[in-house]
Amino acid sequence: MSGGFGATILDATGLRLSPDEKALFRDADPFGFILFARNIDTPDQIRALCDDMREAVGRDCLITIDQEGGRVQRLRAPLGREWMPPLDHAVQAGKEAPRAMYLRYRLIAQELRALGIDSNCAPLADIAGADTHPFLKNRCYGETAADVAELSRAVAAGHLDGGVVPVLKHIPGHGRAVADSHHDLPHVATSFEELEQTDFAPFQALNDLPMAMTAHIVFEALDQRPATLSQPVMNMIRQQIGFDGLIMTDDISMKALKGAPQDIARQSRAAGCDIVLLCNADLPTRTAVAEAAGRLDETGQMRALKAVEARKTPAPLDIEAAEAELAALMGGKVYV
């Protein structure tokens, strides 16, 4: 395979890479990696695994994780602070929510960088509504486009100041889903005009961020295929929303998408996704998907390099002062 980085983000089976995984990653040269709870044990082990991954591809690649806080956080105490759900955090902070959310994710960024992790799958710019599925609702930041955009910007800044590359999700908006895309394919029948004013608006306000993750949702106003596999939706993201960063799929092994993983990988790339995210697969499946996804073209490679360049040396952080300020903003209760 010739061209840029491999157009994948892959994961590991356990706490260290097996010889077969090292060989696959060396050949496939994935853009980066993602960690899960099964990859997490001790600080030294996590740093060693990150070193294994970077050594396998021969460069200082991005390693990401899902560390939203609340239900979705791979690092648990004592490796990471035990946060309340993001929506509860924002509601409790009230008018102080932008600063409180900034500090929350600045502290999360500090936790991640200390372990060798330099990307996080946040902010979540989906809008919570009355019918939003429970798997997503309290992971959201608010119920209006303006609130979600403001808090998502604060979350992104907390990451970037901490030397962690944020991944904006789930573009172009997951809030109207009444099904859990881990298990079923949600359909949204809302008009394009209304979606522009609501769901899509926070993503347009954040279209300068370096990376985004797709939503496995059918927007019937645009296409009958899931956004991840839809060229009309991907074109809309690039043109109307104006997002020109690196776009990765949500995990293609989720049940919302049907078919062989390598076929889904090809379809998502053909639709316009830069990077295919594959999680929780065996070695032959990872190998097949890496082959099917291929390499980044020149435009994708430029986006990939720009995303890596967003990883800055962290600004100094007085952790004790940040925690004290956050506690004051939250009225005392910060952690679960």
User: Could you tell me if 278 and 251 are in contact, meaning their C-beta atoms sit under 8 angstroms apart?
Assistant: yes
- Residue reference for tokens 């991640």: 112
109 by Cβ neighbours in 10 Å (0-12 / 13-18 / 19+) ranks as: buried
- Is 282 tagged catalytic? no
201 three-class SS? helix
- Is 250 tagged catalytic? yes
| Dihedrals phi, psi of 170, to nearest 5 degrees | -110, 105
| Dihedrals phi, psi of 179, to nearest 5 degrees | -125, 155
User: Could you tell me if 5 and 295 are in contact, meaning their C-beta atoms sit under 8 angstroms apart?
Assistant: yes
Query: Cα 111 to the chain's mean position, in Å?
Result: 17
Catalytic residue selected from 27, 133, 180, 182: 182
Helices in the chain by DSSP H: which ranges?
A: 19-28, 43-57, 86-93, 97-114, 134-137, 145-161, 192-197, 201-205, 231-239, 261-271, 283-293, 298-309, 319-329
Catalytic residue selected from 29, 118, 126, 250: 250
Q: Regarding beta strands 62-65 and 30-35, do their DSSP bridges make them parallel or antiparallel, or are they unpaired?
A: parallel
Q: What is the DSSP string of 108-139?
A: HHHHHHHTT--EE---B-PPP-TT--HHHHTT
User: Could you tell me if 85 and 93 are in contact, meaning their C-beta atoms sit under 8 angstroms apart?
Assistant: no
Q: How many other C-beta atoms can be found within 10 angstroms of the C-beta atom of residue 298?
A: 9
The answer, yes or no, to whether the previous bond of 172 is cis (omega within 30 of 0) is: yes
Q: Which residues are catalytic?
A: 182, 250
